[in-house]
Amino acid sequence: MKIKKEKKALTQGKAMHPFIPLLVMVVLCTIISYFVVPGAYDRETVDGVTRVVADSYHAVERTPVSLFNMFRSIPEGLTATANMMFCIMLIAGMHIFPKLPAGTISVDPGPRYTSAGFMKIKIIGKSGHGAMPESAVDPIYVGAKVVDALQSITSREVKPNDTVVVSICTFHCGTLPNIIAESAELTGTVRTFNPKLQKQLPGIIERIIKGTCEAYRATYEFDYYIDIPATITDDRCSQISQRAVENSIGKEHLIQFPGTPGGEDFSYFLERTPGVYAFVGCRTPENDCVYELHSDKFNLDEDSMLNGAAFYVQYTLEAQREFA
């Protein structure tokens, strides 16, 4: 009865539409974070957030009972926003997904993204002349051994059916071609669906780094930070979402796609409140929209965002029917 009264109130007078404050919050948080927090958002978020917000506003006509996630990433200073979830019945988030054809949406239950940890490694050796390596401790050589050894985690330390990814993505060392530098700095990311492994992996990684450095007379510094939990879609919310897709863009556009080793801190919200995380297809070969997320050639097919907006709105309406 309470929901019905709220819906009726929306049709009376010229009061501000209740969706407007939500849109303002989303846009302001995105813009402020983009400029204030370096790396807070990646390119696909900046390109897509305004479009899906605007499309959702023009379509919605009833009180939202879900919190829409327009963010790709929540900067560290904003994660406390999740504390307001006590007043939300259910939530919905989504990400454009170039692995799926434009016009399709996946809302499968269960794991959608893995946990996401990040690490910094500093290999400390001894500087020297490149022509006399016996007098130095080469951090490039030791660092290369560390990178190689870390790959044994996936092949030799975890079960084959457990998804684990350990990737070193930056390696910085040296200034001149004839000087062995004193130190090397590496950064990387760690992914898994398994919560138990998520807790174990930092210790496993440091053990390998320590043992490798000791074997080659080097020392190290290790910093493991931002360990985001896995993104899990609630079963009931998945069912609501399937109806939302079918009733907004058609049953033929509902597609199944397994969880993937991405990382999404919308998972913090899903830990507190039942919800769904949707993959919205945006692959359009004729427009050259075929490149992976985070690729330097990534290009957004903005027309696919209309499907995301339609899904958000219909999800709200389906949820109202479910809980009315």
Last residue of a domain, one of 175, 202, 228: 228
Domain that holds residue 279: 2-113+230-323
List phi, psi (to 5°) of 35: -90, -30
Please, are residues 93 and 266 in contact by the beta-carbon 8 Å criterion?
yes
CA 192 to chain centre: 13
Q: How far apart are CA 39 and CA 74, in angstroms?
A: 10
Tell me what pLDDT residue 9 has.
30
Q: What is the CATH number of the domain that holds 7?
A: 3.40.630.10
CATH number at residue 147: 3.30.70.360
Does residue 7 share a domain with residue 92?
yes
Q: What is the pLDDT of residue 323?
A: 79
Instruction: Please report the pLDDT score of residue 303 as a whole number.
Output: 85
State how many domains the chain has.
2
Same domain, residue pair 247 and 284:
yes
Q: Are residues 181 and 270 in the same domain?
A: no
> Same structural domain for residues 149 and 234?
no
Same domain, yes or no, for 151 and 80?
A: no
Same domain, 93 and 64: yes
pLDDT of residue 320: 87
**Rounded to an integer, what distance in angstroms lies between the CA atom of residue 264 and that of residue 269?**
10
Find tokens 């499907």 and name the residue.
307
Residue 227, pLDDT score: 87
- Cα dist. 34→31, 115, 253 in Å? 5, 23, 33
119 shares its domain with 219: yes
* pTM value > 0.85: no
CA neighbor of 109 nearest in space, from 319, 318, 276? 276
DSSP code at position 102: T
Burial 14-52 (b: 16+ CB within 10 A, else e): eeeeebeebbeebeebbeebbeeeeebbeebbebbbbbb
Q: Which of 228, 259, 284 is the last residue of a domain?
A: 228
Torsion of CA 43, 44, 46, 47, to 10 degrees: 120
Picking from 171, 205, 228, the residue at the C-terminal end of a domain is 228
pLDDT of residue 80: 45
Is the same domain home to 238 and 319?
yes
Q: How far apart, in whole angstroms, are the C-alpha atoms of residue 146 and residue 288?
A: 38
Do 83 and 32 lie in one domain? The reply is: yes
Same structural domain, 108 and 137: no
Give the pLDDT of residue 44.
53
For 130, the enclosing helix (H) or strand (E) is none
In the chain, % helix, strand, coil (3-state, to 5) comes to 45, 25, 30
Kindly state whether residues 234 and 250 are assigned to the same domain. yes
26 phi, psi to nearest 5 deg: -60, -50
Instruction: Mark whether 102 and 119 lie in a shared domain.
Output: no
Report the chain (324 residues): mean pLDDT per 10 consecutive residues: 32 40 48 46 49 49 43 42 57 92 96 96 98 97 98 95 95 97 98 94 98 98 93 96 96 95 91 94 92 88 88 91 80
